[in-house]
Structure 1
Amino acid sequence: MTDLDQLTQSLARNLKRWRAERGFTLDALATRAGVSRGMIIQIEQARTNPSVGTTVKLADALGVAITTLLDHEQGSPVRLVPADQAVRMWSTEAGSATTLLVGTEARGPLELWHWRLAPGDGSTSDPHPEGTVELLHVTTGELTLVVDGTPYTVPAGTSATFEAHHRHTYRNDGSEPVDVTMAVSVPPVR
């Protein structure tokens, strides 16, 4: 498969996903984006490679970044963000600061959690509804995050996000307590 074919397939898959997630009909998205219904059908069926302008219009109408529509990574459902890749938004001479640890594109109910796992302890979760996303930041210790059977090591200072419709487990395989701040975004009920 060529890069262009892969991009066309990714755009088709992602456009369908985000249109469904937003609850937009073909006509509703066409009206919001100023793109013909026929063009949207061709894109969703991977029969055309639209212009950048058309892709931007669709991304804007869906309220997602263009990179979200074009993302064709077929790899892991988990994205780790090391501390050195977090984005400092602002800081003051007095020492105040904000840092964007990790982000994702989702809507619906949003929960914020603090977890503490003692050494050797863990918790397994059944898959959540399709579209559920979890974001987490390890503040102390080293978390072992297992998603769909694959373990990921998440050391203190690292953030991660994953699609939580996969079976997942949080484990502390170390000898120190693990503290995690977690946000869970659940899609709205239709």
Structure 2
Amino acid sequence: MNKKVNITTGTDASVINEALSASLKQYRSEKKMSLDELSRQAGVSKGMLVEIEACRANPSIALLCKLASAMGVSVADIVNVASKPSVHLIAAEDIPCLWRGERGGTARLLAGTSGPDMIELWEWKMHPGEIFTSPGHSAGTCELLHVVEGALRLTLGEESLTVNEGSSAIARTDLPHSYRCAEGGPLRFTMTVSERER
């Protein structure tokens, strides 16, 4: 059960799709860039970019990461939870859910810094049988994970390990990886992602 699950449906998806569409249009306008050029730069099909700009797509987190990297911004910039000068309060109702699992799991981007050198804070909740897979982030990306409840099965390339409740892990996630709710009850973990522009 290794299905690709896209961004959540409903209000979050609509707001995120509109923000991504506006970001792409603004970026292409500022750079005087065609869809073909952005497609090559981001490694995303022109057809998908057309759908995103028309707000008809439901892009995955991996696709959001690719586009943010190509535009030199963070995912937090796109979904408006990036830091502002001095301090920026993000109200609970403004925290976007960027992934929903088949059994009700969620991944919420709690906060993040602006720009290509970014740090993001995530909250993940997963239920038994749910899995999230990623093709890998840009070179040097690092994640800090802490399991608050349950057990996380973390796979990085060919290597797997279980991170139990109360334990933490540090992982280089510039290679294919996945998070899975290990057997038993629900899983809840926090994750900080650090990505530096090369």
**TM bracket, shorter-chain basis:** 0.3 to 0.5
TM-score (norm 2): 0.40
TM-score (norm 1): 0.42
Larger Rg: 1 or 2?
A: 1
